Amino acid sequence: MKFPRASGLLLHPTSLPGPYGIGDLGREAFSFVDLLAGSGQRYWQMLPLGPTGYGDSPYQSFSVFAGNTLLISPDELIEDGLATAKDIALSMAFPTGRVDYGAAYEWKGALLQKAFAYFKESGTAELQKEFAEFIDKNGWWLNDYALFRSIKAFQNHRPWYEWPEPLKLREAGAIAEIRDQLADQFEFERFFQFIFFRHCRRLKRYANEKGVYLIGDLPIFVALDSADVWCNRELFKLNADGSPRVVAGVPPDYFSATGQLWGNPIYDWDRLREQGFGWWVARAEFAFRLADIVRIDHFRGFAASWEVPGGDETAENGVWVNVPGRELFETLHRHFGRLPFIAEDLGHITEDVEQLRDHFGFPGMKILQYGFGGDALNRDLPHNYVQNCVAYSGTHDNDTTVGWWRSLDKKDKNGPRAHCIRYLGTNGKDISWDLIRAVWASVADTAIVPVQDILCLDTRSRMNKPATQSGNWSWRLKDGELTNEIGERLRALTELYGRTMPKTVEE
């Protein structure tokens, strides 16, 4: 589909400021929408919102349908009558500028338990009715997920493929017995999915009323230790014991000399095709509930997947295996009509990937940081952009622009730093805004930059470093860091290059 000329910011909700140890979908999220609208921005791009496991990566979720209950707002719980100001006042002393996931889980978990008790004892009739309706509408995924998380807690958080055989294989008798045994935990898990989506719905409605659209993120693959795989083993290339025959990754690239070994199981696309891609139709429908536009992570995986033998320790020995992406997107088009997708077409991109993207008119991505150090034909330089693309200074996987700039060799007269100076006509003193200006001025219909770049933050504020296992996903804004002056500067640039959000939003 055709996107209007507009712009926006990339910020995951966990990175919002506030007193509760982790950003959430409450007061600060609404304030961020106000800043976007006030600075003329049309888009708020987020990372996946699913529940995270080991490493806290939003790209390794326990379910592609469930939400991350750490994003539930304590203030919104008060609004719902599920917490009191006294409950909230007893919050822990959290660090500023970083997420301490362990502390956040501990404090918010206790708060959610109290809120569940409030609901059972004195929840309003209206809330009870809405909860029942949520279960009725979402039971097809919700019950499996709630049981998965309940058993996982009961099994000391071991992955499902290490559970006792009857539970691992979902034997009917064992499943019925454990569900009865864990009935309270099961209901708790269902209830807080209801609350999560209730808070999401409020935020999305508020953003849309302000003329701001949410861009979600749909990872192509799912985590092995997830309700998705536990309940749908026939849809993945697994061994009889639940271990993966092959796993996902990418070959050696810009980020890693040995490739990236993600470890996600690979789909059995033949089985998915036999079922009319029903699982993917459900997944896409769900993604559109949370967002107006959806970025498809690792889009090239819909043309071919890099399949690595399950026991390998690096991604070097993988092979490309074809995927029926065109059939899938044709099926989605029949179900939904227009498909507001953004294709993350970075990395090893071949002609078949470009043909798949262009056949459906999906905008691809351009990363300005990648544009320097080569020649004038580099696809990431603004003079080579096409209108139907999304241009970024960098993404959550890149260093901040200031961090990137400081890492470049000053002495290399033909390197990226020297090239950038010549191309942008800059001395580098305001490098973040130099790149923002170039992206905003480009012909790209959509321009987006990480919030770290409008704040000119350095490497310490980087969100993720691919091919590393720790120290990621924890950056947060500090209270008051996003000022009106920054918003005004952004609006001035947005107006200058004709990206200002119109007063009436196009549907």
Does residue 164 have a pLDDT over 60? yes
pLDDT at 504 exceeding the cut of 70? no
Q: Extract the tokens encoding 63.
A: 């379910």
Predicted confidence (pLDDT) at residue 215 exceeds the cutoff of 50: yes
Burial tier of 298 (Cβ tally within 10 Å: 0-12, 13-18, 19+): buried
Taking all residues of the chain, what is their mean pLDDT, rounded to a whole number? 95
Residue 90 has a pLDDT of 66
Dihedral Cα 498, 15, 119, 209, nearest 10 deg = -10
Tell me what the mean pLDDT of segment 165-174 comes to.
96
Averaged pLDDT, 455-463: 98
Q: pLDDT tier at 502 (50, 70, 90 boundaries)?
A: low
Known catalytic residues? 297, 344, 397
Res. 503: pLDDT tops 80: no
Neighbouring CB atoms inside 10 A of 81's CB total: 15
pTM: 0.96
Question: What is the rounded (10 degree) CA torsion for 173, 177, 178, 179?
Answer: 100
| pLDDT range class, residue 255, cuts 50, 70, 90 | low
pLDDT in tens, 354-388: 999 999 999 999 999 999 999 999 999 999 999 99
The predicted-structure confidence for 316-359, as pLDDT tens digits, reads as follows 999 999 999 999 999 999 999 999 999 999 987 899 999 999 99
Predicted pLDDT of residue 70? 97
Is residue 435 predicted with pLDDT exceeding 50? yes
Calculate mean pLDDT across residues 481-507.
Answer: 84
| Cβ proximity of 435 and 453 under 8 Å | yes
Mean pLDDT of 95-101: 93
pLDDT at residue 506 is higher than 80: no
pLDDT of residue 470: 83
pLDDT tens readout for residues 172-189? 999 999 999 999 999 999
Residue 260 has a pLDDT of 86
The widest CA-to-CA distance across the chain, in whole angstroms, is: 70
Question: How far is residue 81's CA from residue 75's CA, in Å, rounded to a whole number?
Answer: 10
